[in-house]
Chain A
C-alpha cells in the first residue's frame, strides 16, 4: 500500500536549562487512505510529532517523509496538499464562518468551495454567523472546515475533541467518518481511547516520545491475549503474588494483576473463566464483593504496556 507518512528515528529536544526530550526516536508508517490515530497521555509527544509532520516545527534529528515529499525541499507543495487543525486555534471573532473559510480558501490554488466545506462539517445554518457566536463544538468543526478547503490529500487533526461535550464530540466523529469514506488520509492525535477505537483503523500508542505499540484497535486488544476483562474483588482484600499465579492458571485466563482492592483479569472466554473464579472464591472460603465483565479496550492495552492509565496526569 502507498505510504502517506513515513517517519524514522524522529527526535525533538527543546533546548533550555533543562532540555526537554519531547520525542525520542519515534517511527511511524501511515498508509494512504488510512485513518491513523496517535494515542497517548498528555505530554507523550503527540503534538510535537504532528507539528513536525505539518512543517511547523523542525525536528532535532530523524527522517520525515510526508506524501513522498520532504519539508526542506517541497514545503510549498506540501502546504497545498495537507490540511491542518491545531489545538485551540481561535479564529477572528468578528468574521463570519463563510468569511473565515473564504480567507482560508484563498490561500490554496485548488480546493473545495467555502460553502461546500461548511456543508461538509454541518455548519450550513451558521454560515453567516460571526465566529464569536459559535459553541466550542461548532468552532472545532469550523477548524476542520478550514483544514478541508484545500481539498487535502492528508488531514491532520490535533486533539480534535478535547474540551467538547459528548454531543459535540459525536458530531465531530461523524464529520471525520465522512472524510474517511472520501479516501483521504487522516492522522489524528487523541488521549481518548474511545475516540481512537471508534475512528481509527490503525493506531500507534505513544508514550514518553516513542511508539510503544502499533496496529489496528482489534489487533492491539487481541495482543492482550483475551478480548474480555473481568474485574472482581474477594472479601478480605488482595492476597499476594501466589494468588495472582493461581488466578493466571484458571481456564481461559490470559493475564492477571491486582488493582486497588481487587483483581483485573483478561480472559478469552468469560463463560469459562467466571465459574472458575466463583469456584476459587468458594475454595478460599471468601465471597465476591464485586464482579464485572466487559470488552477489553485500548485503555487496557495502555495499562498493560505501561502500568499507568491514559489519563493519570
Chain B
C-alpha cells in the first residue's frame, strides 16, 4: 500500500457514509434550500398594497368617497361613527376621514400604514379640490436585485449551513465513532492519525463546494440573484470557513463519549451565532455595546464577508480582517483540540 492510501480510503469512507445516509443529505442540501424558498416567499418584495380608508357617513361623505375612488391606490368604505373606531383599532382601515367644512383625519400616528394613508389621502383630496403643484416631477422606480430580503438571506443561510455542517460532520461524527469504539480500533492500526484528520476535513470541504454551488445556483435561478463575479471568492471563503469550523467541531469532540452530550455542546456553540451573526436579520440590530463581540463571532465574519463579495462585488483583500477572525477561531480550536483529543 502506498503512503497515501490510508488517506484515500478514509476519505472514501467518510464520503460513502455521507452519501448513503438520505436523512443527512436532506439536512445538508435540501433543508437550507427549502428554508430559502419559504422565507423568500414570505418576505418577497411587493408593490405597496391599496390603502384602506374609511369615510364617516354623513353630509359631504359622498363627495369624498368619489374623489378618493377616482384616484388609484385606495379602497374606500363608508362607516358609522361607532363602527369606525373599531375598524381603526383592528387595522381594517388605516385612516378615517370625517367630512365637514374642515376635514378631520383619524389615524394612529405610530402605525406606518396610518401615516402613509394620511399623506396619500390628504394629497388626493387636496388635488381633487383644485390644488395645483408648483413643481413638476417624474418618477423612476428602482427594484435593484441585491437589496431584497432574499439577497440578504441566501449568503446567511450558506454561512449557517457551513457552520452546522462542520460541527455535525466533524464533531458529531467523531463522537459517534468514539462511542462505537471505532476510533479506538483505528488507533490500534498503523493508520497515520494526521491522515484521519485530513480525510475527515477533506470530505467536509468536498461537501461544502457542493453546498456553495447548490445554494448560489438556486439563488440565481429561482430568485434571479446577481453575484457580481463574487462566486470564486465566496467559494474560497466557504472552504476557509469549513476548515476553521472543522477545528471547532474537533474541539467539541475531543473527550466526549456520548452523542447526546456532543449534540448539546454543538447546539450550545451554534445557536447563539445563529441569532447574533446575521443569518436571518442584520447583526447591526444589536446594541453598539455588544457589537465587538458580535463581530468577533466566526459566523458573523463569514456571513459579512460572503455578503460583501456576493452582493457588493468586494474582493478578498478587502475582507482580510474577517478572514483573520476565521483563521484565529480555527487555529486556536485545532491547537487545543489536538492536545486534548482522546482516541479511547
Contact = CB atoms under 8 A, between A and B. Distances in A.
B is bound to A? yes
Nearest to A80: B190
A87 B9 CA distance: 24
A90 interface: yes
A99 B13 contact: yes
A92 B183 CA distance: 11
A276 interface: no
Contacts, number: 74
B191 interface: yes
B5 to A, nearest CB: 4
Contacts of A90: 180-182
A56 B188 contact: yes
How many chain A residues sit at the interface, stated as a range, is 20 to 34
Q: Which of B1, B6, B182 has the most CB of A within 10 A?
A: B1
B21 interface: yes
Contact of A106 (B9, B17, B188): B9
A56 B185 CA distance: 9
A146 B185 CA distance: 10
B220 interface: no
Contacts of A57: 344
Contacts of A84: 185, 188-189
A217 interface: no
B9 A102 contact: yes
A307 to B, nearest CB: 34
A89 B189 contact: no
Interface in B1-47: 1, 5-6, 8-10, 12-13, 16-17, 20-21
How many chain B residues sit at the interface, stated as a range, is 20 to 34
Mostly, the A contact residues are loop
Q: Which of A76, A104, A111 has the most CB of B within 10 A?
A: A104
Contact of A86 (B5, B8, B181): B181
Interface string A172-202: 0000000000000000000000000000000
A225 interface: no
B127 to A, nearest CB: 72
A146 B9 CA distance: 14
Interface in A94-132: 94-95, 99, 102-109, 111
A108 B180 contact: no
Nearest to B343: A56
Contacts of B185: 84, 86, 89, 146
A14 interface: no
B86 interface: no
Contacts of B1: 105-109, 111
A309 interface: no
Given A103-B9, A108-B190, A91 B182 contact: yes
B20 A94 contact: yes
B187 interface: yes
B190 A106 contact: no
Nearest to B1: A106
A79 interface: yes
Interface of B: 1, 5-6, 8-10, 12-13, 16-17, 20-21, 180-182, 184-191, 344
> Which 6 residue pairs are nearest across A and B when measured between Cβ atoms?
A90-B180, A106-B9, A94-B20, A79-B190, A107-B191, A106-B5
Interface of A: 54-57, 76, 79-80, 82, 84, 86-92, 94-95, 99, 102-109, 111, 146, 150
Given A55-B188, A95-B13, 15 more contacts: A56-B344, A84-B185, A86-B184, A90-B181, A103-B10, A103-B13, A106-B5, A106-B6, A106-B8, A107-B186, A107-B189, A108-B189, A108-B190, A109-B190, A111-B1
